[in-house]
Amino acid sequence: MDLFNPIIEERRWHPNFRSLLLLDNRSTFDVLNDWALGFNDRDGKFVQEFQTTFNSSFWELYLFAVLKEYSVPVDFSKSRPDFCIPSLNLNIEATIATNAQGSEPESTLLDKTSPSNLNTFNMNTIIRLSNSLSAKHNKYVDSYSALDHVKGRAFVVAVANFDQPFSFLACQRPIEAVLHCYYVDEERYIATGGREGRLEGKELLQAFKSNGSPVTLGLFTTPVYKEISAVIFNGCATIGKVRALSTDTSYGVIFTALRLNPASDQPYIIKQPKRLYQESLLDGLRIYHNPFAEHPLDPALFRRPGVFQWYFQGDERIVEQYEGQLLARSVCTLIRKAR
């Protein structure tokens, strides 16, 4: 499968695909080609979609690379869901949160400044993630649940947010609000200079669309979404991940990463050139388990150092997190101007 040989006219290229071609970095191409190795293009449209819509295809490639990292075999003989894993009695469906109609896509990043209000920024992503997960739940109930290879098996939705410029800065705030009504108001913390106590989450039951209509949060706080066993999320699965994993030694590529510091409200901030910066494929991976799941996902399946998990043992919430866990990362490329 040749991802980078254009098979459609240039005017239809997705901006992210165009940027990759302009970068023309073979080590970046090598990472994505490695992710795609063994991937089965079941409907013959994957390369076209990678070049025209990009983000959903990119997310599928990342998930496939993760499954290979865990040595999990995928059965591509089934047309749906996206990843059928009969050896583990598991099916995974991939989806992404995209921008609302009429709003700016994440690919306009280069023309924008970072968000001025984190609450407004996070609420936009909360609504888009909720829409994506709700749509996949409906798809399962209306279609997937009738398939023999889906019945009686855990069903996991893997979602990533590509819904607005700087979407990678949302970290875990929106997904935890959507699933568990858990929201951290960082704007309030910043405004008070931390004088009101530690940076901790509060219950958030609803978010509101631009037209004022409410969106109910807490998909995993009642049995309504019992068909979804867990949600996989990684806000750091972006082109920045590819560049971090590549062997590129170009001058002027600077990584800034925020990593968990359990002893403080402030994360570790790492700013390093590419030659010194280190990041793994699994960095940023988060698994949220549904306590009401009809077919629970065993937390041992994805347990690795650095992989976050949120699950329950009886009424007790268990959060597995690790010092240095990747929260967010950005990449800056410095360009030397000719004299």
Q: Identify the pLDDT of residue 174.
A: 96
- Letter for the amino acid at 32? L
* Inter-CA distances, 155 with 111, 135, 144, 177, Å: 39, 14, 10, 21
DSSP E strand boundaries for the chain: 83-85, 90-98, 154-162, 182-183, 202-203, 206-208, 214-216, 230-233, 253-259, 268-273, 286-289, 308-313, 316-320, 326-333
Question: Which residues, in sequence order, are CB contacts of 5 under 8 Å at separation 6+?
Answer: none
Q: Identify the pLDDT of residue 105.
A: 87
Q: Is residue 261 part of a domain?
A: no
Q: Cα separation of 316 and 159, whole Å?
A: 25
Q: Identify the pLDDT of residue 5.
A: 94
Q: Identify the pLDDT of residue 46.
A: 96
Q: Identify the pLDDT of residue 191.
A: 76
Q: Identify the pLDDT of residue 212.
A: 87
Q: Is residue 321 part of a domain?
A: yes
Q: Identify the pLDDT of residue 106.
A: 87
For the chain, residues with pLDDT lower than 50 are: none
Q: Is residue 65 part of a domain?
A: yes
Q: Is residue 324 part of a domain?
A: yes
Q: Identify the pLDDT of residue 324.
A: 96
Question: What's the structural domain count of the chain?
Answer: 1
- pTM comes to 0.94
Q: Is residue 256 part of a domain?
A: no
Q: Identify the pLDDT of residue 239.
A: 94
Q: Is residue 116 part of a domain?
A: yes
Q: Cα separation of 58 and 36, whole Å?
A: 10
- Tokens (6 digits) for 329: 């990362």
Q: Identify the pLDDT of residue 107.
A: 86
For 247-305, the pLDDT digits (tens) are 987 778 999 999 999 999 889 999 999 999 999 999 999 999 999 999 999 999 999 99
Angle (deg, nearest 10), helices 173-180 and 118-142: 50
Q: Cα separation of 301 and 154, whole Å?
A: 12
**Pairing status of strand 308-313 against strand 230-233:** unpaired
Q: Identify the pLDDT of residue 98.
A: 94
Exposed / middle / buried, residue 13 (Cβ in 10 Å: 0-12, 13-18, 19+)? middle
Q: Identify the pLDDT of residue 155.
A: 98
3-state secondary structure of 289: strand
Q: Identify the pLDDT of residue 335.
A: 67
Q: Is residue 280 part of a domain?
A: no
Q: Is 95 left (phi over 0), alpha (psi -120 to 50) or beta?
A: beta
Is residue 175 within 8 Å of 118, Cβ to Cβ?
Answer: no
**Structural domain boundaries enclosing 205:** 10-248+285-328
Q: Is residue 254 part of a domain?
A: no
Q: Identify the pLDDT of residue 114.
A: 79
Q: Identify the pLDDT of residue 338.
A: 52
